[in-house]
């Protein structure tokens, strides 16, 4: 299991990346594939990476080692405060929505999957995914949200946009408040082995179809 006191998170992620690569390589050897599989690997590797990272990060053990609660409410629920942001440089619609945000305005969680929290404005328009400066926060916070053991409040703190005539980028700083339920201290991530097995099985089937069709 990853311990923040013993290993820097980027090194842990590097180990996870090598593990995903080795697992997919083993499936390719099993299927006797020798062609270029990069296009097929992308989705499987992303899903596999997320599952393996969750398998080796326990939020209840790690969060107290990487952050202090901002306060504790009268029901003894811990409240954490983090700086986050959303930004866009390509999708003009998303850039416009971010650029139109106002300080102190609330934004809202839209969906959470594969380690990404998509957020939206008050009209439901997508603002892209929320980002933290510290990657470990994704795996320390989002599992509580998936398990419905937390409530969050997202507030716009600052908005940056280019000053030219044409919008080329937009970025908003978001204050991320999360309140954990009392039972969160005892939370443990679900076992990922079955999901990992299914991802590898799906990839195996994709390879066999590609070989049969002559694409590999």
Question: pLDDT category, 198, cuts 50, 70, 90?
Answer: very high
Phi, psi dihedral angles at 23 (to 5 degrees)? -65, -45
Question: pLDDT category, 35, cuts 50, 70, 90?
Answer: confident
Q: Helix, strand or coil for residue 60? A: helix
Q: Identify the pLDDT of residue 201.
A: 97
Average confidence score pLDDT of the chain: 94
Q: Strands (DSSP E) along the chain, which ranges? A: 71-72, 78-88, 106-113, 116-120, 126-129, 131-132, 150-161, 170-180
Q: Identify the pLDDT of residue 4.
A: 96
Q: Identify the pLDDT of residue 132.
A: 95
The mean pLDDT of 180-195, rounded to a whole number, is 93
Question: pLDDT category, 178, cuts 50, 70, 90?
Answer: very high
The mean pLDDT of 13-25, rounded to a whole number, is 96
The mean pLDDT of 46-58, rounded to a whole number, is 94
Question: pLDDT category, 164, cuts 50, 70, 90?
Answer: confident
Phi, psi dihedral angles at 150 (to 5 degrees)? -155, 155
Q: Identify the pLDDT of residue 167.
A: 86
Question: pLDDT category, 128, cuts 50, 70, 90?
Answer: very high
The mean pLDDT of 150-154, rounded to a whole number, is 97
Of the two residues 215 and 121, the one the predictor is more confident about is 121
What is the reported pTM? Answer: 0.86
Run of H or E residues at 56: none
Q: Identify the pLDDT of residue 34.
A: 82
Residue that is written with structure tokens 């969906």 in the block: 111
């Amino acid at each position: 299991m990853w311990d923040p006191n013993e290993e820097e998170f980027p090194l842990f992620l590097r180990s996870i990346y090598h593990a995903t690569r080795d697992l997919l390589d083993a499936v390719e050897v099993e299927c006797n594939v020798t062609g270029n599989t990069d296009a097929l690997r992308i989705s499987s590797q992303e899903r596999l990476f997320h599952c393996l990272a969750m398998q080796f990060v326990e939020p209840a053990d790690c969060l107290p080692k990487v952050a202090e609660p901002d306060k504790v409410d009268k029901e003894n629920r811990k409240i954490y405060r983090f700086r986050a942001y959303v930004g866009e440089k390509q999708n003009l619609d998303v850039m416009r929505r971010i650029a139109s945000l106002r300080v102190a305005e609330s934004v809202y969680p839209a969906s959470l999957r594969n380690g990404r929290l998509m957020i939206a404005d008050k009209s439901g328009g997508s603002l892209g995914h929320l980002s933290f400066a510290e990657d470990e926060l994704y795996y320390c916070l989002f599992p509580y949200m998936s398990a419905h053991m937390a409530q969050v409040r997202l507030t716009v703190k600052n908005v940056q946009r280019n000053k030219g005539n044409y919008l080329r980028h937009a970025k908003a700083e978001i204050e991320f408040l999360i309140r954990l339920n009392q039972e969160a201290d005892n939370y443990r991530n679900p076992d990922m082995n079955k999901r990992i097995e299914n991802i590898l099985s799906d990839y195996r089937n994709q390879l066999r179809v590609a070989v049969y069709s002559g694409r590999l």
